[in-house]
Every structure is written in structure tokens, then in C-alpha cells.
Copies of this chain bind each other. A is one copy, B any other.
Amino acid sequence: MSVAPALGADHPPHLRARRLGLHAQHEPIVMMRTDCHVCRAEGLSARSQVLISAGGRRAYATLFQIDDFLAPEEAALSEAAWALLGLADGDLISITHAPTLESLSHVRRRVYGHRLDAAAIEAIVKDVVAGRYADVHLAAFLTASSALPMDEQETRDLTQAMADAGDRLTWPAPVVMDKHCIGGLPGNRTTPIVVAIVTAFGLVMPKTSSRAITSPAGTADTMETLTPVELDLATLRRVVEAEGGCIAWGGAVRLSPADDIFIRVERVLDIDAEGQLVASVLSKKLAAGSTHVVLDIPVGPTAKVRTEDAARALADRLQSVAGAFGLRTLCLQTDGSQPVGRGIGPALEAIDILAVLQNRADAPQDLRRRACQLAGAALELGGAAIPGTGQSAAEEALADGRAWAKFQRICEAQGGLRTPPKAPLGQDLCAGRSGRIVHINNRKIARLAKLAGAPEAKAAGLTLHTRLGEETAEGQPLLTVHSETPGELTYALDYAAANPDFIEIEA
């Protein structure tokens, strides 16, 4: 082949950047006049993927075209694109067709049902982290590796690629403890209590947590109502050196940054498949420098894991992938038949946590018991308690105030303990008949809390006033819906009216 030199390659067309304050979540978007010289010269059309270059930085973006409003030499950028490129208003930028992404051919192979090797998975993760995938590409990769589930080798390779694609922390300690809950159980917010107890015993536990994927609150969402969680690496190290532990948002320190990108799309699709789940959990732990992990797997008819067999299979997969990386894990199957504690939603769960740590008489006992069970397992796994004595040691540290004192010091180190916000709007949902509570649907309870505004609206969510097996009387409040806006309250109440079986009562 003899190919002529590329025409126009030495005349990159320039436009002036204009900031619109356009919020399109994480997606970089650029708007240009349909008739501008760049669109015409490059043959760009609406939704073309383009490459924007400015002052040495580059970003992939989706093009929207506009007939008016902008000047022909202007390009308006979304906030995500603006931040990626570090622009100032009026900066010159050049825009071309985005080069073909070779890694998309691997995604296509996976969509056609072929398995991927380590190199293909690494190429995909690198392009994802570099912001080169549009949401439809992310959706294609995630759903293809769910419908035909990832096998163990793919899961290992994805874990490795995700851990390698961001920062890796190391800690000068032989045991670096971690814990994780395989979601699906509203209100199961044990982590802050476990960290307080475990670090009170001198173990190192630099905990980084995710935001919610499909639930009404993640640990990071909840902790954010109590103390800053978006710690940079230096702050995080300072907190852990001073207190032996922290409770921070993982995304702020670029631990497995691909995970945060995948999670945003999983959230829109409301999915969270096993292989992705294992890689998500373990890549974060590896990147965080953990050596030991306690895993909480709640099992119940409406929890994420529905049967003991499924829990065992998931535990096996987690342990065998973790083992390949030298990570010691302990999986606990726990009761997943109903929500934990009373509050569901970031601030409402924070209030439960404070009640347990402060030994208040009205503290939810189920949350306290679960936290002590997990903290006890961590103390034993980490060699800080003799096997069989972990749980009672944990209970003592709560009872004598050591855990609460530790928690306050950690929050102070992270930037100060604060009071969770309260929602301005509330409405009780009351029992339509007298009888016994025979079923609480975790999924519908979670949906209800999300419709009320959680987790974006920190104070939104539910307060449960009843538990499985309790007796209730007609007209007695079963739960309270909390919202920050009338629209969200309406929306949640409409859903409750259409789905009265979120709590079932039998005479």
C-alpha cells in the first residue's frame, strides 16, 4: 500500500471554549454549531464521538449540534468536559473525530458470547478509566458480562486490571483489616461501628467505602452526613497514622477508579452482577492495601442473595479470587429477612449509628448485634482476639465507651463530627388492618426510600416503626417517609399506594 500524506493533518481546526454550566453527570459533552467549519471539515454529525485537545490535555466527548445560540467559532462544554480539560473561558481547543477504540472490539466479542483474556480486559479497563467509553459502551460491557456471567479467570483478570488502573496504597502494618457487605439489605450500616471497635483494639483499618449502587445509601453517603469523606491521599494517610483507621469514600483517592465509572452505569440500569461485584469488592481491597477482609453476606427472600446455596457459591468465588491475590477472607452469612435498624437513607442511618455508639437505650439492638458479630470476626481474623471471644470483646468496647471515643477521634481527624440533616417533609404510612407483620420486602422498602429522594437527598428516606413478627393495630404507623421536596414525597407515596405489599400483615 502506498498512502498519500493525511490531508489537513497539520491544520487542526480551532474553536473557542465556552462554559455553559451544563450538568450532564459524568459525561463529557460538547455542543457546536451544525454549520461551523469544524463540523463541516471533519464531517461530524450529532452524537459523533470526538476528541478534544486543549493545552496538552485531551478528552473524549459526545457531540451535540445546535443550529443557533452559539457563535460558529464557539464550542460549549459540559462541566465534566470542562474539568477534564482544565479550561478557562475563551481558551482555544481543537476537535477531531475520536480515533477508533480498539478495546471496543473486545467488548463486541464479549457481546457475541466469547470470553476475554487478561490483555483484552486490561485494554477495556484502561480506556474506561481514561473516559473514552460512552455510556452505551459501558452498558454493553456490563450487561454482556452479566447475561453470560464472567468465569473465575475473567473475574480474576478484571479484579487485577481494575486494581492496577488506579492508585495502590501500602501500609506499614502486617495486618491491614477491611470489611465489606454484599448489599441488598436496607439500613445494614455496620461499617462505621466496626471500624471504631476494631481500631480501638489497635488493629489498622483504613476503610474506603463506595457510594450506593442500587440501594438508598452507601457507607460513604451515610458517613458524609457525619464527617467529610472525600479525603485526598495525604489526608487519608494522616488520619490512619493518627487513629489507625478512617471511614472515607474510595473514589476520592482513585482506588479502582474504573469501579466508580461502572457503578454509575449499574445504578442507572439497577444491576449488580456477580463477577462485576466480586471484581468491584476485591479490586478496591487490593488497591487499598488490605491483607484481611471480613465479608457480610445477608441472605433472605428479598435480599440480594436469596438462598444459602447462592451465598455459599458467592463466598466460594470471593474466597478463591481473593486467595489468588493472597488476600485472607472470612465470609459470614447473616440474616437478610428484613431491614436493619430503623433508619433507611444516609442521614437516617447515621442517626442509628450514633445511637449504637453512644449506648443509648433506644439504639436499634439488631444493628448493634450485627456490628459486634462482624467486629468480633475481624478481631479474631486479625489476631486481636482469641477465637471464640471476638464478639464479646467487641460488645465490651461498645459498652465502656471506647468505640464511641475512637469514632469521635476518627471523625475529628477527617475534618470534624457534624450533625446529620433532618428532612423538612414527612408522612406516616399506617397499617390498614390489625395483625402480625409476616413479611417486609427489602426491595420495595429500598425502592420507596429511593423514590423519597435517597441517596442524593441526604436527609430523605424512611424510618421503620415495626419489625417482623410484631403485632400492629389498624391505623398504627408502620413507617415514616421523609423527603426534602414535595415532588419526591408525592412520588414515594404514589408508589406505596400502588405497592401496599411492601409490609404484609396477617390477622
Using a CB–CB distance below 8 Å, which chain A residues touch chain B?
Answer: 1-4, 6-9, 20-25, 27, 29, 31, 34, 40-47, 64-69, 78, 96-97, 100, 104, 107-108, 110-113, 134-140, 142-149, 265, 268-271, 273, 427, 429-432, 447, 453, 456-457, 475, 478, 483-491, 493-497, 500, 503
Contact = CB atoms under 8 A, between A and B. Distances in A.
A154 to B, nearest CB: 12
Contact of A66 (B22, B25, B66, B457): B22
A488 B42 contact: yes
A393 B483 CA distance: 75
B144 A23 contact: no
Given A135-B136, A271-B111, A457-B43, A64 B23 contact: yes
Contact of A68 (B21, B69, B268): B21
Nearest to A13: B487
Max chain B Cβ within 10 angstroms of own Cβ: one of A78, A140, A478, A486 = A140
A278 to B, nearest CB: 15
Contacts of A27: 47
B8 A456 contact: no
Nearest to A47: B25
Nearest to A46: B23
A273 B486 contact: no
Contacts of A494: 6
B111 A269 contact: yes
A1 B431 contact: yes
Contacts of A24: 46-47, 64
A497 to B, nearest CB: 4
A42 B457 CA distance: 12
A237 B489 CA distance: 52
The 8 closest A-B pairs by CB, nearest first: A21-B67, A42-B487, A23-B46, A144-B147, A43-B485, A139-B139, A1-B500, A43-B488
A4 B300 CA distance: 31
A7 B110 contact: no
Max chain B Cβ within 10 angstroms of own Cβ: one of A3, A144, A271, A475 = A3
A284 B229 CA distance: 54
A24 B483 CA distance: 34
A271 B487 contact: no
DSSP majority for the A interface? mixed
Contacts of A495: 100
A486 B69 CA distance: 27
Contact of A140 (B31, B143, B453, B496): B143
9 contacts: A1-B496, A6-B490, A6-B494, A7-B489, A21-B69, A23-B65, A23-B67, A43-B483, A100-B447
Contacts of A500: 1
A111 B2 contact: no
A349 to B, nearest CB: 19
Nearest to A66: B22
B143 A111 contact: yes
Nearest to A491: B97
Nearest to A80: B46
A66 B21 contact: yes
A112 B496 contact: no
Contact of A22 (B64, B139, B142): B64
A6 B487 CA distance: 9
Given A24-B46, A24-B47, A43-B483, 18 more contacts: A1-B431, A1-B432, A1-B478, A9-B490, A21-B69, A24-B64, A97-B491, A100-B447, A108-B269, A111-B146, A111-B269, A111-B273, A112-B146, A112-B273, A134-B268, A136-B136, A143-B143, A147-B147
A313 to B, nearest CB: 14
A242 to B, nearest CB: 36
A269 B140 contact: yes
A148 B430 CA distance: 44
Contacts of A491: 97
A131 B174 CA distance: 56
B269 A137 contact: yes
Contacts of A488: 42-43, 97
A58 B47 CA distance: 24
A494 B97 CA distance: 12
